[in-house]
Structure 1
Amino acid sequence: MANYWVLRAESADGAIIDALPKDSPTNWKFSTGEPLARSFPAGGKVSFSDHFPDRRKLYDFVRNTIGVILASSRVRHVLEGLKVENAEFLPVTMCDHQWGPVADGYGILNVLGSQDAIDMEKSTYDISALSREISHVSNLVLTVGKIDPQAEIFRARNMMELILISDRTKQAFEQAGLTGFRAHPAEGFDDMFA
């Protein structure tokens, strides 16, 4: 069976973003796996969170509290090199705490569609009464044989905020020297400890 990894933006000292650009689609739409390019504002800006005034360092993956993947153009180029077609890059300008532009070439990586990746019988999880989606997983067990072997980056059906990557993608990220991310083994994953 192929190995898969849960993709998370992680850094001890990196900038943290806590709001989407002005006039963006509603927050929950970013975890539907649906295209958002038409409704995403051109020239959108995000700024470093005032709650973390000392965190100014930018990595290829930027931590945020809004449940999206904020990534650099380097991430985009690696995915293009892997021929990933199920993602759209929604450009944003990164700004400091005073809204001064500090970097272009960043964007929200919106992963489109999903894979039937979670073994609902064997995994341990909580379901949200509101969305009927998995809200917390304490022991992730992947389905055997249901994940498209060509899938390099994908959302997990039933927990659309969970982004998984293949071994090939993880290796490509590492070989490119991408920063600010951690790939957690998907089997047995517990989101309380990630």
Structure 2
Amino acid sequence: MNNETAYQVFSINPDPRVALLRDVSANVPDYMQLTDGIPLKGTIPESTTFTLSEEGGDMLCDFVENTSGTLIVSSRAREALETEGITGDDFEYLPVTLKDKRGRALKSRFYIVNPLQKVECMDRERSEFSASARTDKILSVQQLVVRQDMVPARLKLFRLGEWPRVIVIRLDLVQRLQEAQLTGLFVVEQGEDFIW
């Protein structure tokens, strides 16, 4: 695999037709822990509900667009991820309910995917990011280039160790999910601007 194309980054889907959630952080009690990839099984109740925003479109996708940088997927997307090995102790699938714009619960089940593996692999020379002048701690990342030699070969989906809000996905997994015709998956190439 070429170092420039082996990994991609989840980003916000710009398609205005896509349905959108705006209330994820407000309805998850330990939201900051969720963005840090801390295990939350048993902490987020199965009764957790999010409502589709009036500001979004009407196209509900397998990868549900949201403004909180959370990976939320349909049952179909969960099955595809699990088929590709996104299972076990490295991941949590936390069940949630979605409501339509009128507040009616959808029959389909959805899941927050919480990758627990964090890998420090950012190429600081070639990535674009903000860091604290005092501590050098990463505050945000705008463009990411991954140091492939730092990533264990078995990992297909993981959080960026330097800033765990960023979820990185290996190109071959992206291709499998696209082949499964899952909707709403939006990733950017390394070195491209992204929002998450």
Partner of 2:163: 159
Q: Is it true that 1:132 corresponds to 2:134 in the alignment?
A: no
Q: Quote the Cα distance in structure 2 between the aligned partners of 1:136 and 1:144.
A: 17
Q: Quote the Cα distance in structure 2 between the aligned partners of 1:18 and 1:128.
A: 28
Which is further off, 19-28 or 177-186?
A: 19-28
Partner of 2:11: 8
Partner of 1:18: 22
Alpha-carbon distance change, 134 to 143 in structure 1, aligned in 2, over 3 angstroms: farther
Alpha-carbon offset, residue 82 of structure 1:
1.2
Q: Is it true that 1:191 corresponds to 2:180 in the alignment?
A: no
Partner of 1:69: 71
Which AA in structure 1 matches 2:45? P
Q: Map Cα deviations across residues 137-170 of structure 1 (whole Å, 9 max, x no partner).
A: 24x2221411111111111111211111112211
Q: TM-score by structure 2 length?
A: 0.85
Alpha-carbon distance change, 122 to 166 in structure 1, aligned in 2, over 3 angstroms: same
Partner of 2:81: 79
Q: Map Cα deviations across residues 88-130 of structure 1 (whole Å, 9 max, x no partner).
A: 1111111012320124221111111211220124323112579
Which AA in structure 2 matches 1:66? S
Please give the secondary structure, in 1, of the residue aligned with 2:177.
helix
Q: Quote the Cα distance in structure 2 between the aligned partners of 1:57 and 1:123.
A: 33
Which AA in structure 2 matches 1:27? Y
- RMSD over equivalenced CA pairs, Å: 2.4
Please give the secondary structure, in 2, of the residue aligned with 1:102.
coil
Note if contact 2:17-2:58 (Cα within 8 Å) is conserved in structure 1.
Answer: yes
1:107-118 mapped onto 2 (5 Å cutoff): 107-118=111-122
* Ranges in structure 2 where 5+ consecutive residues have no aligned partner: none
Note if contact 1:21-1:46 (Cα within 8 Å) is conserved in structure 2.
Answer: no
Q: TM-score by structure 1 length?
A: 0.86
Structure ranking higher in strand proportion: 1
Q: 1:92 aligns with which of 96, 111, 116?
A: 96
Note if contact 1:6-1:183 (Cα within 8 Å) is conserved in structure 2.
Answer: yes
Please give the secondary structure, in 1, of the residue aligned with 2:98.
strand
Alpha-carbon offset, residue 29 of structure 1:
1.4
Corresponding residue pairs, total = 189
1:33-52 mapped onto 2 (5 Å cutoff): 33-50=37-54, 52=55
Q: Quote the Cα distance in structure 1 between the aligned partners of 2:103 and 2:33.
A: 25
| Dislocated runs of 4+, deviation >6 Å | none
Q: Quote the Cα distance in structure 2 between the aligned partners of 1:127 and 1:105.
A: 38
Which AA in structure 1 matches 2:8? W
Q: Quote the Cα distance in structure 2 between the aligned partners of 1:157 and 1:96.
A: 35
Please give the secondary structure, in 2, of the residue aligned with 1:178.
coil
Over the matched positions of the two proteins, sequence identity in percent amounts to: 26
Alpha-carbon offset, residue 189 of structure 1:
2.4
